[in-house]
Amino acid sequence: MANLLEIKNLSYKKNQKKILQDVNLTLQSGKIVALLGKNGAGKTTLMRIIAGIAKNYTGTVTVSDFSDLTERKAHLSFSDRLSGFRESSKIKQLGEFYQELYADFDNKQFEQLVKFMKLDPDLRLAQMSKGMREKLIIALSFSRKTDLYLLDEPFSGIDAMARKKIIKSIILWKDEKSTILISDHFVNEIASILDEVVVIKDKTIYAHKSTEKIRESNESIEDFYENIYEDEED
């Protein structure tokens, strides 16, 4: 099977401080993968590097065989908190904006996803709750037809119903060949849909295991993750 994401010997510093060191990670196509780690472990940083937003790293990052930044960006989608948009923008206007920005954006699919998420297309960003924003980010992300989806903490601070809706949409709208990397602090809420688990600890990829292997050894995914941090005190 083809490697969709390949990270080799990646290190990253910010203000002289080492944030990630010697990260190596290979993900194949068609997988749903959790990126786990406690606060400050480096999950967002790693996603920003893959997405080409954080640039001054050493090592190589390849997405669908593309390492060149422009080409790499065309083959991935990164949920970026909607920070670049005016608060007065309506949902449907964001759809139009994305359509101009990304050749692979399908506005029809966006309209369907917005409906599926029970969002009003005329709602403005300023009127939206955290959960509604997360749903919108998911709708925008999955309206692009791309190889790699990077979802940064899509479940933070949202209620159980919204979580279920997001998980359902991932299952329903995910293309067979695309790979999704989802960062979170907890794993239990997404455990059922995961193919693999990646844990960041001590500035690097501390563990990478398939959920099948974890379950084979009679361990729950949650225990597997918690055992990694067991001996640590905060």
Ligand X SMILES: Nc1ncnc2c1ncn2[C@@H]1O[C@H](COP(=O)(O)OP(=O)(O)OP(=O)(O)O)[C@@H](O)[C@H]1O
Q: Which of 5, 10, 44, 144 binds ligand X (CB under 6 A)?
A: 44
Residues in contact with ligand X, shown as a per-residue x/- string from 173 to 192 under the rule CB under 6 A: ------------x-------
CA distance readout (Å), 173 to 117, 132, 146, 178: 12, 18, 12, 11
Report in angstroms how near the CB of residue 148 gets to ligand X at its nearest: 18
Q: Is 45 in the site for ligand X (CB under 6 A)?
A: yes
Is 157 a binding residue for ligand X by CB under 6 A? The answer is no
- Residue 140 is encoded by which pair of tokens? 């925008």
The count of other CB atoms within 10 Å of the CB of residue 149 is 23
197 binds ligand X (CB under 6 A): no
CB of 52 to ligand X, least distance (A): 15
Inter-residue contact 12 to 20 (CB < 8 Å): yes
**Contact status: 7 vs ligand X (CB under 6 A):** no
List of E strands, the chain: 3-14, 17-28, 32-36, 57-63, 76-78, 148-152, 179-184, 196-201, 204-210
Query: Residue 201 in 3-state DSSP?
Result: strand
CA-to-CA separations, 18 to 10, 45, 57, in angstroms, rounded: 11, 11, 11
154 binds ligand X (CB under 6 A): no
Query: Whole-number minimum distance, CB 46 to ligand X, in Å?
Result: 7
SS3 36: strand
- Choosing from 10, 42, 146, 181, the residue that interacts with ligand X (CB under 6 A) is 42
The correct pick among 2, 9, 14, 129 for binding ligand X (CB under 6 A) is 14
Residues contacting ligand X: total by CB under 6 A = 12
Is 12 near ligand X (CB under 6 A)? no
Query: Quick one: which segment of 39-47, 71-79, 103-111, 208-216 binds ligand X (CB under 6 A)?
Result: 39-47
How distant, in Å, are the alpha carbons of 25, 123, 195 from that of 212? 18, 42, 7
Are the beta carbons of 72 and 61 closer than 8 angstroms? Answer: yes
Q: Between 74 and 207, whose beta carbon lies closer to ligand X?
A: 207
Write down the least CB distance from residue 50 to ligand X, Å: 12
**Is residue 95 involved in binding ligand X (CB under 6 A)?**
no
Contact 143, 105 (CB under 8 A): yes
Binding site for ligand X (CB under 6 A): 14-15, 19, 37, 39-45, 185
